[in-house]
Amino acid sequence: MKSVSNFLLRSKKESSFVVTAGLLALLSIFLLSFLGPVELACEKTAAGRNDCRLTRHVFFGLVNAQEVEINALKTARLEQKVKETIEWNKNGSRNVERRTLYGVLLVGDEQVIFNGYIYNLRPQQKIVQEIDTFLEDSSQSTLVLRERNYFLDIVTLGLLGIVVILLVNVARAPIH
């Protein structure tokens, strides 16, 4: 009960630090629920098939969120989507900007996108090339590809760091 009364006695500035820290903590938890690597593990079976498992992890890779079996992988190919952004100018005319997003489509008995769509073509081409090399090279019995978004990891850790700093400052502040 004393801690509740201590919280109520804090200044508005300190209370706003607590609210800000709470909101940043919630945002960090939300981002954590999406963060983690995507892993494609393939192996050549005795029957000559290329069977794969696509695993999406969350919470920095600590939890498996989704596993998809891709039986009889035949090929990987680039898939393109065009994203349009419409902006209205001050004079009432509109400006349409078109940007292409690239994804890696895994084609087997099922068709699955490897790790979503991004604007950068080169990394997606590299993934397609690695998968195609595995499919064509009979001496290569396994393939493991692991992709992760380090930028979001760093942003989330930064937000959590700010939360800690705000809470430490509030905890160290004298009660009025």
Residue whose structure tokens are 């981002």: 31
The two tokens of residue 136 are 């064509």
Residue 8 pLDDT greater than 50, yes or no: no
Which residues on neighbouring strands pair with residue 42, listed in sequence order? 52, 143
User: Which distant-in-sequence residues (6+ apart) come within 8 Å of 64 by Cβ?
Assistant: 55, 56, 57
What is the tens place of the pLDDT at every residue in 82-104?
A: 998 888 888 878 888 899 999 99
Predicted confidence band of residue 156 (pLDDT cuts 50, 70, 90): confident
Phi, psi of 130 (to 5 degrees): -65, -40
* Residue type (1 letter), 122: R
Supply the Cα-derived Rg of the chain in whole angstroms: 24
What is the tens place of the pLDDT at every residue in 9-62?
A: 455 555 676 677 777 777 777 666 666 678 899 999 988 899 999 988 766 555
What is the tens place of the pLDDT at every residue in 99-120?
A: 999 999 999 998 999 888 888 8
